[in-house]
Amino acid sequence: MCSHRSDPRPTTCLVEAAWPAMCYFISMDDAKLLEVLTRGAAVGVFLGFAIVIGRGRLSSVRITGLLFCLAAAAHTLTQMPLLAGALAWLWPAVWAFSAMGAGFLWAFAVELFEDRGRAFTLRLMPAAGLLIVSLAAALMPPGASKPLWLLQNLIAGSLAGHALFVIGGGWRNDLVETRRGLRGPILAMAALYAVAVIGMQILELAGYRVEALSPVAAAALLALGLAGIGTLLQVESDLFAPISEARRGSIESMVVPAGEEARIAKRLDRLMREERVYREPGLSIAVLAVRLGIPDHKLRRVINRQLGHRNFSAFLNQWRLQDTKQALLDPDQFGVPISTIALDAGFQSIGPFNRAFRQETGLTPTAFRAKAAASPGSIPPLHRGTSHSASGIG
């Protein structure tokens, strides 16, 4: 066992500072040293992962991605507590990032694979909650902390499960080809990561000795990190750009429009404007592609590149919202229930309609109609609508 020298006269301050860590590594047996080297390589890969994600203009997607990479690197280290001696004063920060890992995974998944414009700070609340629960558990006596650690694992598991749902659930409606192709590999890697991290913690809480699995977990984290960085290196960097910037880039591709895509866009506009197919229940991109007589991948590309939408549901909702706004502006339809107007326009339920309407206009449908009634002509109509019968839901 290596001990600090009794005559501490090192040649430099750097040697003095590094000596405890050097002693720690020298005293290891071969198996432990191999695991430390594997974990060190995994940490390096996750930090490389962060560099790949962080390229380009700062955005909420990149920030959450960076935080997740730091948390993954921290978790890789905290699974070997003996490293606490080598990391010294850095250990509390490493532990804190590791505790927030599932929260950052969730935030990154939601920011990357959903296009809803929610406040960025709200995305970080689950990670903060995990840290608070973890700190409370760590400060309690070991016998009394088990329920809190179980709660921490349940929260982490729920966040990881929802992240997997977000990644896999939006596959059909995703119009960004690179992001759509990324969903499968990321879903598999996120699932394996979540199972590895949460599974080890649950086994430990259940009283099982997990030390023997530690080298396997280290190798698995290294493999996942390598797979992740290899996947993202093939992805266009603007995938992590702000949504408005990514949309602007897609729309600007119309400067040199492809003849076929321009023709498809015109036919699509006519189908939506004249036949109002957006009102049809259960309308999918595959069904719409059949109506146009083209493969669905071409339709995805046209809606994304020519019209600037990243999500098929958002594309449909744009037309549905135009329809409902026109009806709400029509004095002849002031007596028609708002729920009837929303359902006739193609919305499946009132909740999503209210949220989309408020996000689009800054007003509730009721306030929008009241404003139109109080000041006729204050809100310009968008396109001609059709009348709704006064009878219906609502």
Span 318-339, average pLDDT: 89
Architecture of the 29-241 domain: Up-down Bundle (1.20)
Task: Locate the domains of the chain by residue range.
Answer: 29-241, 250-310, 312-394
Which stretch of DSSP H or E encloses residue 251?
helix 243-252
Distance of CA 79 to the CA centre of its chain: 25
Pick 87 or 312 by higher pLDDT: 312
CB 238 within 8 A of CB 249: yes
Pick 122 or 30 by higher pLDDT: 122
CB 386 within 8 A of CB 332: no
Q: Is the dihedral of CA 115, 116, 118, 123 positive or negative?
A: negative
Pick 390 or 299 by higher pLDDT: 299
| Terminal Cα distance for the chain, rounded | 78
Query: Please, which residues have CB within 8 angstroms of residue 83's CB and are 6 or more apart in sequence?
Result: 36, 39, 77, 91
Q: Is the dihedral of CA 35, 41, 47, 50 positive or negative?
A: negative
Per-residue burial over 18-41, b if 16 or more Cβ lie within 10 Å, else e, is: eeeeebbeeeeeeeeeebbebbeb
pLDDT above 90 coverage of the chain, percent:
17
Confidence at residue 134, expressed as pLDDT on a 0 to 100 scale: 94
Confidence at residue 193, expressed as pLDDT on a 0 to 100 scale: 74
Confidence at residue 263, expressed as pLDDT on a 0 to 100 scale: 86
Measured between alpha carbons, how far is 288 from 122 in angstroms, rounded to an integer? 35
Phi, psi dihedrals of residue 97, rounded to the nearest 5°:
-65, -40
Measured between alpha carbons, how far is 172 from 311 in angstroms, rounded to an integer? 9
Query: Please, which residues have CB within 8 angstroms of residue 66's CB and are 6 or more apart in sequence?
Result: 50, 53, 54
CB 18 within 8 A of CB 83: no
Token readout for 2 is: 């290596």
Could you tell me how many helices (H) and strands (E) the chain has, helices first?
Answer: 19, 0
> Which residues make beta-bridge pairs with 76?
none
Q: How confident is the model at residue 242 (pLDDT cuts 50, 70, 90)?
A: low
Span 122-133, average pLDDT: 93
Select from 92, 97, 95, 157 the least CA-distant residue to 128: 97
Span 61-70, average pLDDT: 91
Distances (CA, A) of 133 to 26, 64, 141, 151, 283: 36, 21, 14, 8, 44
Phi, psi dihedrals of residue 236, rounded to the nearest 5°:
-65, 135
The tens digit of pLDDT for each residue in 259-313 reads: 778 888 888 989 999 899 999 988 888 899 999 888 988 899 888 888 888 889 8
Select from 171, 139, 188 the least CA-distant residue to 313: 171
Confidence at residue 214, expressed as pLDDT on a 0 to 100 scale: 75
Token readout for 49 is: 């992962």
Measured between alpha carbons, how far is 76 from 42 in angstroms, rounded to an integer? 7
The tens digit of pLDDT for each residue in 131-169 reads: 999 999 999 987 788 889 889 988 998 998 898 888 888
